[in-house]
Amino acid sequence: MSELTFEQMLEDPNSIKTIHSGEVVEGTVIDVKPEEIVLNIGYKSDGILSKNEYTNDSSVDLASVVKPGDTMEVKVLKVNDGEGQVVLTYKRLAADRGNKRIEEAYNSGEVLKATVAQVLEGGLSVVFEEVRVFIPASLVSDTYEKDLGKYLGQEIEFVISEYNPKRRRYIGDRRQLIVARKAELQRELFERIHEGDVVEGVVKNVTDFGAFVDLGGADGLLHISEMSWGRVEHPKKVFKVGDNLTVLIKEINGSKVALSLKFEDQNPWRDAADKYAIGNVVTGRVARMTDFGAFVELEPGVDALLHVSQISKEHVEKPSDVLNVGQEVTAKIVDFNENDRKISLSIKAMAGSGAAEANQDEVPVDIDAVISAQAEDDAQ
């Protein structure tokens, strides 16, 4: 502690400053210690600013934030602490000013920024200009956040939704900012996209019936039936969260967007009339079976029905008696209907008896009915 000498007092009586508790004074840093800052405040005694009265952040290294020669405004807590020292505070002065800033932000709706200081059971605590602001878990995001720990040490934006200085109750809201930004992004997205557009997206969630793709403002649904021209057993076997996709906007209905990966230039039925003309011999794999016959995948998106009556010259009770799923079979095309996208196969016709004999034993079957029945079995 440095005191004015008697000679200095005689030479300049005005140099002896009168101070009072609660007064805001300006001081010059003359020494920085690990737990306190010493300031010359123009009084007969130096002022002592403890680390605890400088900030609420116990991790702060005083030597890294102030240095000798710096000037700063402080508030007098005690003119004499019993040992002749003047006790000062910086954080309470900053809090007073911070409180004023928060009041202004509350009234104007200003967006504030602060670093998350604590993760509490019910939300986040941030310190804005030495004022603690609580952000409840329900106001942290527009979706449920199971782990708030990821926000610790992160700078976030928020607005003040409740201001009650008497109770020292300052509530922050981050959720409304997120909602507003998403609404703006959605508006911009729907102004930009149209049905038939090809856009980029990121898989956000995968369910049993499809995948939700973030298009940058709204999510689009890529239904399992639109994931491939071929058969997809389960979306999770094809996609995972975070995958980047190039998708086709199939339909826009209000805020709902239906997506597809079935691009027309990749449609396997485009040249099917040539590849699967009646009489052609083809090879495929048994994809699934019913009591009526086996569905053979000739290529992804093109299945053909091998009716039970066309599996062999010998009587076959049911396809599973002689065939297995995944088994490769070679058969002849005996019927092709491009409009209905139906193809009928016959192994029996391969025996040399001709298509006429093959058709003689054929039992009429409604392929659509068989497919529907199979779909119901799969769903169960």
> Is residue 88 within 8 Å of 38, Cβ to Cβ?
no
Amino acid, res. 44: K
In this prediction, residue 353 carries a pLDDT of 46
Give residue-wise pLDDT tens across range 284-343: 999 999 999 999 999 988 999 999 999 988 899 999 999 999 999 999 999 999 888 999
Q: What's the CA dihedral at 181, 185, 190, 193 to 10 degrees?
A: -170
**What pLDDT shows up at residue 95?**
84
Answer yes or no: is pLDDT of 207 > 80.
yes
Query: For residue 1, what pLDDT band results from cuts at 50, 70 and 90?
Result: very low
Is residue 358 classed as helix, strand or coil in its secondary structure? helix
The reported pLDDT for the residue numbered 364 is 47
What pLDDT is recorded for position 3? 44
Q: How far is CA 47 from CA 27, 65, 74, 188, 231, in A?
A: 8, 18, 9, 57, 79
Q: In whole angstroms, what is the distance from residue 17 CA to residue 192 CA?
A: 68
The string of pLDDT tens digits covering residues 19-72 is 888 899 999 999 999 999 999 998 888 999 999 999 877 788 999 999 999 999
Single-letter residue type at 178: I
Q: What is the pLDDT of residue 209?
A: 95
- d(CA 135, CA 146) in angstroms, rounded, equals 15
Mean of per-residue pLDDT scores for the chain:
87
Start-to-end CA distance of the chain, whole Å, equals: 85
pLDDT for the residue numbered 80? 83
pLDDT value at residue 191: 93
Question: Token pair of 367, please?
Answer: 């392929």
Model pLDDT for residues 220-269, shown as the tens digit of each residue: 999 999 999 888 889 999 999 999 999 999 999 998 999 999 998 889 88
Residue 376's pLDDT band, with cuts at 50, 70 and 90, is low
HSE-up of 89 (CA within 13 Å, CB side)? Answer: 17
Nearest alpha carbon to residue 246 among 209, 290, 197, 281: 197
Amino acid type, 283:
T
**pLDDT exceeds cutoff 80 at 10:** no
Torsions phi, psi for 233 (to 5 deg): -70, -50
For the record, the structure tokens of 345 come out as 């196969």
Say how far residue 372 (Cα) sits from the centre of its chain. 37
Q: Locate tokens 């809090």: which residue?
A: 95
Residue 152: C-alpha distances to residues 78, 113, 157, 192, 332 (Å): 36, 14, 14, 37, 67
Residue 277 has pLDDT above 90, yes or no: yes
